[in-house]
């Protein structure tokens, strides 16, 4: 596997530039933490990095956003204005964000003229982005220059079916947003190197019984539909895998690389 690329090496290869990276994942997968630490890593490699925060419920960020939805509304504001509980306010936030899509798209276009990477940090609850149109419309505005990361957190992988389920969620994101998607195993410092491979082997073997047969069948569907690519394991704590992640983000849009 090739190692990380310097800024000069990166730009020496023809690429569709700038790269807008939308980060998806279930709650607790480490989206905001990864965006902050990986952004710092890229800055240390002399790349320019911009950040867009779309989560109105977050209280603090490990990066300074170039666009912050909280400047327009926060979860607490919505709860007070509309007399809603937390869940209703989160849904309402998607309606309010939809009204801002044009403004956010314009901001992303401007950021794309100034920065090498633009990271879009999505709301913590994945169902908000999957079942409401705000983020879909936003992604459509930059689809040709965008790619998605789907974060699979290591601490959610306890049984073979957990891996299958998260892979299906990643597939749903790919179908919903229609942009290239890279699945990333986060919190890799919590696992030994062969853990995921052992889970995959157990899924392939099958353990008998109707439920396990269903898991195995779903796994085979994912294998048929998902493009084969090397597994990227990262840790925002140790920076394990950051060089591989940088390389694969480059290769998504570069004629001199591939994902497999």
CATH number at residue 52: 3.40.50.300
Range 88-115 average pLDDT: 94
The percent of residues above 90 in pLDDT, for the chain, comes to: 53
Residues in the chain: 260
How far apart CA 206 and CA 214 sit, in angstroms, is: 9
pLDDT band at 200 (very low <50, low <70, confident <90, very high): low
| Position 7 in a domain | no
Range 221-247 average pLDDT: 78
Q: What is the mean pLDDT of the chain?
A: 82
How far apart CA 87 and CA 100 sit, in angstroms, is: 20
- Domain extent, residue 224, equals 17-252
Single pTM value for the model? 0.83
pLDDT score of 202 more than 50 = yes
Of 7-11, 55-59, 176-180, the one with minimum mean pLDDT is 7-11
- Which helix (H) or strand (E) element contains residue 5? none
Residue 69 and residue 53 in contact, taking contact as beta carbons nearer than 8 Å: yes
Structure token digits, residue 78: 């919505």
Strand ranges, E, within the chain: 19-24, 49-53, 67-68, 117-121, 146-153, 181-186, 232-233
| Position 1 in a domain | no
Our count of domains for the chain comes to 1
| Position 100 in a domain | yes
- pLDDT of 12 reads 44
| Position 174 in a domain | yes
Q: Which residue has the higher pLDDT, 112 or 195?
A: 112
pLDDT band at 228 (very low <50, low <70, confident <90, very high): low
- pLDDT of 224 reads 56
Q: Which residue has the higher pLDDT, 30 or 211?
A: 30
pLDDT score of 191 more than 60 = yes
Backbone φ and ψ for 85, nearest 5 degrees, come out as -80, 180
- pLDDT of 101 reads 95
How far apart CA 166 and CA 210 sit, in angstroms, is: 20
DSSP 55: -
| Position 199 in a domain | yes
How far apart CA 39 and CA 190 sit, in angstroms, is: 22
Q: What is the pLDDT of residues 64-75, one digit of tens each?
A: 999 999 999 999
| Position 101 in a domain | yes
| Position 205 in a domain | yes
Q: Which residue has the higher pLDDT, 204 or 136?
A: 136
pLDDT score of 226 more than 60 = no
| Position 260 in a domain | no
pLDDT score of 10 more than 50 = no
- pLDDT of 189 reads 86
């Amino acid at each position: 596997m090739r190692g990380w690329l310097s800024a000069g090496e990166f730009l020496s290869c023809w690429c569709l530039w700038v790269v807008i990276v939308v980060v998806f994942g279930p709650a607790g997968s480490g989206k905001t933490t990864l965006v902050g630490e990986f952004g710092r890593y890229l800055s240390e490699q002399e790349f320019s990095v911009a950040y867009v925060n779309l989560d109105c419920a977050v209280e603090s960020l490990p990066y300074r956003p170039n666009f912050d939805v909280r400047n327009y509304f926060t979860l607490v504001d919505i709860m007070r204005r509309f007399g809603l509980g937390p869940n209703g306010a989160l849904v309402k936030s998607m309606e309010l964000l939809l009204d801002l899509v044009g403004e956010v798209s314009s901001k992303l276009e401007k950021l794309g003229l100034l920065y090498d990477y633009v990271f879009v940090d999505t709301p913590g609850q994945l169902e908000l982005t999957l079942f409401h149109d705000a983020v879909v419309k936003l992604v459509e505005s930059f689809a040709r220059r965008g790619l998605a990361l789907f974060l699979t957190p290591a601490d959610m992988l306890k049984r073979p079916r957990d891996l299958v389920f998260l892979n299906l969620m990643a597939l749903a994101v790919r179908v919903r947003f229609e942009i290239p998607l890279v699945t990333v195993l986060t919190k890799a410092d919590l696992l030994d190197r062969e853990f995921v491979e052992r889970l995959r082997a157990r899924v392939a073997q099958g353990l008998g019984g109707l439920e396990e047969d269903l898991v195995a069948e779903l796994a085979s569907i994912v294998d048929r539909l998902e493009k084969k690519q090397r597994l990227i394991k990262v840790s925002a704590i140790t920076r394990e895998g950051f060089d591989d992640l940088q390389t694969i983000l480059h290769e998504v849009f570069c004629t001199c690389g591939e994902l497999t």
